[in-house]
């Protein structure tokens, strides 16, 4: 039986297969890594660390981008 990860993505609970890196997560969602930034448990994950950063159950992630603003 595959392990499941319980994550909070942008405030929403999500269940995903383990193991999973930040790079894997962004690819699964379909996001261009050059256009987003990721925070894991209130700490920035540098883009250079996406492949090496393994997610754990209970992690809270914020995935943000730029939108129109004044």
Partner 1 sequence: MDATPTLIDDDTWTVAGRVFRSRLVVGTGKYRDLPETAAAIEASGAEIVTVAVRRVNLSDASAPMLQDYVDPKRYTYLPNTAGCHTAKDAVRTLRLAREAGGWNLVKLEVLGPPPHLYPDMAATFEAAAALIADGFEVMVYCADDPVAAKRLEQMGCVAVMPLGAPIGSGLGIQNPAMLAMLIEQARVPVLVDAGVGTASDAAIAMELGCDAVLLNSAIAHAREPVRMARAMRLAVEAGRLAHRAGRMPRRMGADPSSPLAGLIR
Which one of the spans 15-23, 51-59, 61-69 is the region binding partner 1 (CB under 8 A)?
Answer: 61-69
Q: How far apart are CA 52 and CA 54, in angstroms?
A: 6
Cβ(55)–Cβ(5) below 8 Å? yes
Choose which of 1, 2, 13, 35 interacts with partner 1 (CB under 8 A). 35
Residue of 1, 2, 12, 15 that binds partner 1 (CB under 8 A)? 12
| Measured distance CA(38)–CA(2) in Å, rounded | 26
Of 15-23, 24-32, 52-60: span binding partner 1 (CB under 8 A): 24-32
Binding site for partner 1 (CB under 8 A): 9-12, 29-32, 35-39, 42, 44, 46-47, 62-70
């Amino acid at each position: 039986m595959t392990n499941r990860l319980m994550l909070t993505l942008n405030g929403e609970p999500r269940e995903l297969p383990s193991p999973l890196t930040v790079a894997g997560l962004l690819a699964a969602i379909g996001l261009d890594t050059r256009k987003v930034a990721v925070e894991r448990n209130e700490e920035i994950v540098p883009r250079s660390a996406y492949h090496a950063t393994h997610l754990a159950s209970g992690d809270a992630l914020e995935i943000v981008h730029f939108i129109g603003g004044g």
